[in-house]
Structure 1
Amino acid sequence: MQTRRILLAAIALALAAPAFALAQTPAAAPAPVAEAGVVRVALTTPEGVIVLQLEQGKAPITVGNFLKYVDRKLYDGASFYRASTAPGGPKDYGLLQGGLQNDPKKVLPPIAHESTLKTGLSNTDGAIAMGRHAPGTAQADWFICVGDQAYLDADPKDPKNPGFAAFGRVVEGMDVVKKILAMPVDPNRGEGAMKGEMLVKPVRIVTARRVAP
């Protein structure tokens, strides 16, 4: 379990260096909000649809950033590209990472870190959270937890462990998430903590759109 935790927590080191180019795609009109403080977004992939419920009322900075990418259609053509599981472990426990991989034509500036201690959210089964280097470097890439991984939350007893900013969860399509997580990875691709975790065939995010409840 300790090895698994070390491997999965390494997502903080796996993202490329921040880029700061601003995308100029105009924002689309917002769709209806599911309920006060909550927004739903559907990620359509060739493997099926994944619906996210984003806690805008609890994590306004992180959700607001995610919705900028959605409303400007910047996630259209992005992909799920990394499936992180423990070597020799089950394929239904790990992290599925997606986003823009720091495409300089699409990424927006980094955002402030919203600690789980502040939001009250947790990196449990189905949670979506931002990938990052140091706190305050998250941009466009994120991961979905498959299995409870609350050890990725901020540690209230250790200020040096700010954790990862969870900002919502999957409410439909966890079967799709698990299917992608179990897909083959290339043992030779990827650098550092990502080595051996890159999907042989990344799964394209065809569209990312707000949806009504």
Structure 2
Amino acid sequence: MNRITLAATCALFLLGCVAEHVDRPATSQSNSSSGAGGSSANGESAETFQVKFETSRGDFVVEIHPDWAPNGASHFRELVENKFYDDCRFFRVVSGFMAQFGINGDPAMNKTWGDSIQDDKVIESNSRGMLTYAQTGMPNSRSTQLFISYGDNSFLDGQRFAPFGRVVEGMAVVDQLYAGYGDGPPMGNGPDQGRIESEGNRYLLKDFPKLDYIKTARIIEAVGAEAEPASEPAKETSAAEPPAESEQPAEATPAAE
């Protein structure tokens, strides 16, 4: 595993990166599981459904499979229905690895939805286009932060990273999300997850104004049990024109604090 990949994996974990040099998506703090704002699997979200993300770069659609990861899918549905992801920034984008998001621009929302959920068994692999929760590295530490894989991240499969959905339309949009700020502290000078949680979009708009963001995330349809197989590649719809300035990809990995 190369140095960049190790750094990236570390970022996927909320707090576990400093102690171990491994590439994983991380979040910033461990939250108690099954508290206020948390959820677990239930019958209400047992069917496959789709969510459309309208972003500053263009639109993409994810297909959610509760049978892959019931706790994660149920919690995600609850977050979407409560408009948690509206106006969230893609604060960590690592070319060739993943795009991470899921800290709300309103600190009050982050407190409301700060509790974590129980882990799911890993059924599907973290391949291109898969949607997965970031975590702290501790069991049952998933909360609101997510990442979309850009390539084969199957090395995460044995580390409790359980995909619960995949991009089925607009992967080209995801590929072009702004990646010019690099990784956050302590590995880089990009957005600090702790400050995003406490200061919200006020901090990001001032110091990192070029970040792409989610305008809205809405459930659009239930697609039934006979969905396309996970191995099917995401549809490559066109993205909005990138800014004229050169955008250097960040050499980092998805991490949550």
TM bucket, shorter chain: 0.7 to 0.9
Q: Structure 1 residues 19, 96: closer, same or farther in 2, change over 3 A?
A: same
Matched, 1:50 2:46: no
User: Whole-Å Cα distance in 1 between the matches of residues 105 and 177 of structure 2?
Assistant: 21
Deviating 4+ runs (over 3 angstroms): 18-23, 101-104, 196-200
Partner of 1:123: 126
Which residue in the other structure is 1:175 paired with?
A: 172
SS at match of 1:125: coil
CA distance in 2, matches of 1:101, 1:124: 26
Identity %: 28
Displacement of 1:179 in angstroms is 0.2
Equivalent positions of 1:128-167 (< 5 A) are 128-133=131-136, 134-154=138-158, 162-167=159-164
Which residue of the partner structure matches residue 158 of structure 1? none
Residue ranges of structure 2 left out of the alignment (5+ in a row): 16-25, 38-43, 192-203, 224-257
Q: Would the aligned equivalents of 1:15 and 1:101 in 2 still touch at CA under 8 Å?
A: no
Give CA deviations for 1:58-85 in whole Å, capped at 9, x if unaligned: 211001011111001111111211112x
Q: Name the residue aligned to 1:16.
A: 28
Q: 1:147 to 1:47 in 2, by over 3 A?
A: same
- For 1:82 and 1:68, the matched residues in 2 are separated by 23
When the two structures are aligned, how many residues end up with a matched partner?
182
Equivalent position SS for 2:219: strand
Q: How far off is 1:192 after superposition?
A: 2.5
| More off after superposition, 8-17 vs 131-140 | 8-17
Distance in 2 of aligned mates of 1:22 and 1:76? 20
More strand by share: 1
The answer to whether structure 1 residue 83 and structure 2 residue 98 are counterparts is no
TM-score (norm: length of structure 1): 0.75
Following the alignment from structure 1 to structure 2, what is the Cα–Cα distance between the partners of residues 6 and 74?
30
- Closer, same or farther in 2 for the Cα pair 1:186/1:149, shift >3 Å? closer
Shift of 1:123: 0.4
What residue is the counterpart of 2:186 in the other structure?
192
Conservation of the 8 A alpha-carbon contact between 1:80 and 1:97:
yes
What is the letter of the counterpart of residue 115 of structure 1? K
Equivalent position amino acid for 1:69 in 2: L
Cα distance in structure 2, aligned partners of 1:72 and 1:101: 12
